């Protein structure tokens, strides 16, 4: 299992300076445009329930109680440094990824750490991005499903999910792919019990999990050398057709609310 | 909510963190599993957030002759793999989901002081101490003192300290979907074969974990723990009586949590008795090895 560096070793990275992400003082009445936009385009998520009131980000207006944006900061998402401007301090990594950076493959459903649809890797550890303060992730490596290595397990898992009918509405799929990739990277030969336990934080409302487990078991069998062939050969036509649909899900998040 | 916008600080040492926390309305941030969703849901926004992510001192785990020390920023995942503390590891394994265990920390569990927090029930039974630091200096409190006093302004939990495992340690809980919701009730039993002491606590009954002293004394007097848990009468009868005492203590507990829709007080008090009886039975069945990893989440 992955662990944090023990202190003895970690002490090498001497971190003495206090880094303050200071509040953007220059912004008083005229809020930057970025802060005024994000409230739109959220209703499209099938998993999003309307009762999650609270606008996610500061909405420009006259409300003096509206959160003020903090100074711009940088996030390292999928290997690319991204500048975040106009965000309020309390914004979660999920909010910032989706609404400030347009990365909609990270799904937003519960915002309470309960469903796993917003799963990402933070410095290689699987976490729910809705429980991470975005500004506090400024020096971390963030991987979404789109940033998982193209020559690694994720594409193989994606194909297996399609072949096994583990994708129905697809809302949970990006989170499952991130979680399953994390698990198989750490424990390629995990037992089915282990697998179910490791994926317990990811909720799927459609499949009943059986097909998801079957897809992952098939990938494990492939890795072990037996099992079914990866995408290609006979399965290719099949996977190709469904593959188009998948571009909106585990893809790069170009479609709105995809 | 008024005045200047909030500020995030990311100190590198405990000293700096404590200085920053001395300012009015400053809140520490560890794994964020409780705090970040709460902010999102509209909890009062602190004026300053002091992130502990870079404070490496808080990530230590230490094994001493008569105490184990666990830094406040140690995550459940890290605890779950920590062999010197099999009981604590077993508790950590049955918290939330992998995502929550990868982020959630010991210090956050104490800071949130959730009356249903799994770790708090266990730490209470294990007679753990909370190590704190503020601008006024360091201090030490028992878990009960810490929870009763509430976190004082400017306090940073730096670590918890607990005796090494010297006997069976069992933790049971019941509730809904573990990955998504905290348990309804939980029970921890910690046996020290060396001293013959039995520590027992239940969570989800009162506003803080409840030590069940009458049940502890019964289990200590009825069983000779040094001799492989030799007891008068049948193990089953001892465990059943233990459970009854725990139920009775739960019914009389001051500061009861309000009844929920799915957990009327009666049910909760009955349920902790059942958990306690099973937990003691498990302790009695444990082999005489000094540190048996028998903690289990139900
Ligand atoms: C979906 C879900 C499932 C969960 N399931 C369980 C479960 O099964 N069992 C269980 O016990 N818990 C459960 N939890 C709660 C779990 O998140 C907490 O137990 C966790 O330990 C909080 O740690 P954190 O580091 O994330 O705290 P944060 O959210 O960072 O902080 C929580 C509070 O503690 C304060 N704080 C943080 N660190 C310190 C410190 N060093 N000193 C003083 N104050 C501090 C913060 O200011 C804040 O008020 C669950 C949570 C979620 C979201
Ligand atoms: S949206 Fe983050 S866990 Fe549900
Ligand atoms: S939630 Fe629809 S496929 Fe999982």
Q: Give the mean model confidence (pLDDT) for residues A171-184.
A: 98
pLDDT of amino acid B295: 44
User: Does B105 touch chain A if contact means CB atoms closer than 8 Å?
Assistant: no
User: What ipTM was reported for this prediction?
Assistant: 0.92
Residue A232 lies in a domain: yes
Whether A60 maps to a domain, the answer reads no
Note the pLDDT of residue A248. Answer: 32
Q: Where along chain B do its domains lie?
A: 7-50, 168-295
Q: Is the distance from the beta carbon of residue A112 to the nearest atom of ligand 3 less than 6 Å?
A: no
Q: The CATH number of the domain where A97 resides is what?
A: 3.10.20.30
CB of B40 within 8 Å of a chain A CB? The answer is yes
Q: According to the model, what pLDDT value does residue A254 have?
A: 30
Predicted local confidence at residue B201, as pLDDT: 98
Closest chain A CA to residue B20: A18
Domain shared by A244 and A223, yes or no: yes
Per-residue pLDDT tens for A61-97? Answer: 345 456 677 889 999 999 999 999 999 999 999 999 9
Pair (A233, A166) in one structural domain: yes
Q: What is the CATH number of the domain that holds A157?
A: 1.10.150.120
The pairing of beta strand B48-51 with beta strand B7-10: parallel
Compute the distance between CA of residue A118 and CA of residue A104 in angstroms, rounded to an integer. 10
The closest alpha carbon to A257, from A76, A18, A43, belongs to A43
Q: How long, in residues, is chain B?
A: 298
Q: Describe the strand order of the beta sheet including B48-51 as a list of residue ranges.
A: A19-21, B7-10, B48-51, B26-29
Select from A96, A115, A144 the last residue of a domain: A144
Residue A55 belongs to a domain: no
Residues of chain A found within 8 Å of residue B28, distances taken between Cβ atoms: none
Instruction: State the pLDDT at residue B227.
Output: 78
Q: Which residue does chain A place closest to B13, by CA atoms? A: A16
**Architecture of the structural domain at B7-50:** 2-Layer Sandwich (3.30)
Which class for B122: exposed (0-12), middle (13-18), buried (19 or more C-beta within 10 A)? buried
Does some domain include residue A84?
yes
Mutation choice for A interface testing from B99, B159, B178 by most A CBs within 10 A: B99
What tokens were used for A123?
């410095």
Q: Do the first three CATH levels of B7-50 and B168-295 match, i.e. the same topology?
A: no
Report how many domains make up chain A. Answer: 2
**What is the distance in A from the centroid of ligand 1 to the CA of A251?**
32
Mean per-residue pLDDT over chain A, rounded: 73
pLDDT attached to residue B274: 98
- Ligand at minimal distance from the CA of A165 is 3
**Which structural domain range is residue A226 located in?**
148-248
Look at residues B274, B298, B122 and name the one whose alpha carbon lies nearest to residue B211. Answer: B122
> Taking Cα atoms as reference points, which of A245, A67, A159, A158 lies closest to residue B8?
A67
Please report residues of A whose CB lies closer than 8 A to that of B14.
none
Alpha carbon distances (Å) from A129 to A117, A201, B26, B51, B56: 9, 13, 23, 16, 22
Same structural domain, A244 and A155? yes
Q: Does one domain contain both A182 and A117? A: no
Three-class DSSP labels, chain A = CCCCCCHHHHCCCCCCCCEEECECCCCCCCCCHHHHCCCCCCCCCCCCCCCCCCCCCCCCCCCCCCCCEECCEEEEECCEEEEECCCECCCEHHHHHHHHCCCCCCCCCCCCCCCCCCEEEECCEEEEHHHCEHHHHCCCEEECHHHCCCCCHHHHHHHHHHHCCCCCCCCCHHHHHHHHHHHHHHCCCCCHHHHHHHCCCCCCCCCCCHHHHHHHHHHHHHHCCCCCCCCCCCHHHHHHHHHHHHCCCCCCCCCCCC
Residue A88 in any domain: the answer is yes
- Position A179 scores a pLDDT of 98
Give the largest Cα separation in chain A, rounded.
64
pLDDT digits (tens, 9 = 90+) for A15-66: 222 334 433 332 222 233 333 333 333 333 333 333 333 433 333 334 545 6
- Residues of chain B scoring pLDDT < 50: 1-2, 290-298
pLDDT tops 70 at residue A106? yes
- Pair A120, A167 in one domain: no
Q: Note the CATH number of domain B168-295.
A: 3.30.390.50
Point out the domain boundary residue: A144, A167, A197: A144
Domain boundary at A82, A111, A144, which?
Answer: A144
């Amino acid at each position: 299992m992955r662990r944090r560096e023990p202190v003895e070793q970690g002490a090498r990275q001497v971190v003495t300076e206090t880094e303050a992400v200071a509040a953007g003082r220059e912004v008083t009445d005229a809020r930057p445009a970025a802060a005024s936009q994000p409230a739109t385009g959220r209703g499209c998520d099938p998993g999003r329930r309307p009762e999650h009131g609270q606008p996610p980000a500061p909405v420009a207006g006259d409300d003096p109680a509206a959160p003020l944006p903090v100074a711009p900061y940088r996030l390292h998402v999928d290997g690319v440094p991204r500048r975040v401007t106009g965000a309020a301090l309390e914004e979660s990594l999920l909010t910032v990824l989706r609404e400030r950076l347009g990365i909609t493959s990270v799904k937003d459903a519960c915002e309470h750490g309960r469903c796993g649809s917003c799963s990402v890797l933070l410095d290689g550890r699987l976490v729910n991005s809705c429980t991470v303060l975005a500004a506090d992730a400024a020096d971390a490596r963030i991987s979404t499903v789109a940033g998982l290595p193209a020559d690694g397990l994720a594409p193989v898992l994606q194909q297996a999910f399609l072949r096994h009918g583990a994708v129905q509405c697809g809302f949970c799929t990006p989170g499952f792919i991130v979680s399953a990739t994390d698990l198989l990277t750490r424990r390629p030969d995990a037992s089915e019990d282990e697998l179910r336990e490791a994926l317990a934080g990811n909720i799927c409302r459609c499949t009943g999990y059986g097909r998801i487990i079957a897809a992952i078991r098939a990938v494990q069998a492939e890795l072990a050398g037996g099992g079914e062939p990866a995408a290609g050969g006979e399965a290719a036509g099949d996977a190709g057709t469904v593959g188009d649909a998948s571009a909106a899900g585990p893809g790069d998040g170009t479609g709105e609310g995809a | 909510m008024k005045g200047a916008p909030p500020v995030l600080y990311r100190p590198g040492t405990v000293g700096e963190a404590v200085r920053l926390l001395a300012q009015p309305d400053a809140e520490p941030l560890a794994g964020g599993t409780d705090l970040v969703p709460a902010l999102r849901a509209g909890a009062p926004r602190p004026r300053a957030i002091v992130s502990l992510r870079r404070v490496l001192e808080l990530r230590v785990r230490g094994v001493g002759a008569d105490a184990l020390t666990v830094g406040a920023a140690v995550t459940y995942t890290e605890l779950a793999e920590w062999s010197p503390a099999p009981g604590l590891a077993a508790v950590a394994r049955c918290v939330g989901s992998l995502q929550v265990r990868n982020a959630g920390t010991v210090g956050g569990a104490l800071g949130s002081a959730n009356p249903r927090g799994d770790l708090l029930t266990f730490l209470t039974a294990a007679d753990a101490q909370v190590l704190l630091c503020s601008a006024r200096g360091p201090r030490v409190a028992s878990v009960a003192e810490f929870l009763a006093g509430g976190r004082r302004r400017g306090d940073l939990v730096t670590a918890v300290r607990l005796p090494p495992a010297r006997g069976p340690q069992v933790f049971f809980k019941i509730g809904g979907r573990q990955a998504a919701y905290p348990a309804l009730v939980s029970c921890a039993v910690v046996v020290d074969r060396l001293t013959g002491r039995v520590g027992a606590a239940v969570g989800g009954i009162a506003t803080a974990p409840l030590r069940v002293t009458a049940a502890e004394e019964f289990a200590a007097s009825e069983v000779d723990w040094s001799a492989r848990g030799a007891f008068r009468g049948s193990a089953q009868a001892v465990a059943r009586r233990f459970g009854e005492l725990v139920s009775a203590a739960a019914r009389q507990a001051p500061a009861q949590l309000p009844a929920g829709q799915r957990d009327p007080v009666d049910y909760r008090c009955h349920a902790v008795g059942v958990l306690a009886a099973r937990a003691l039975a498990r302790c009695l069945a444990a082999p005489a090895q000094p540190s048996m990893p028998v903690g289990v989440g139900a």
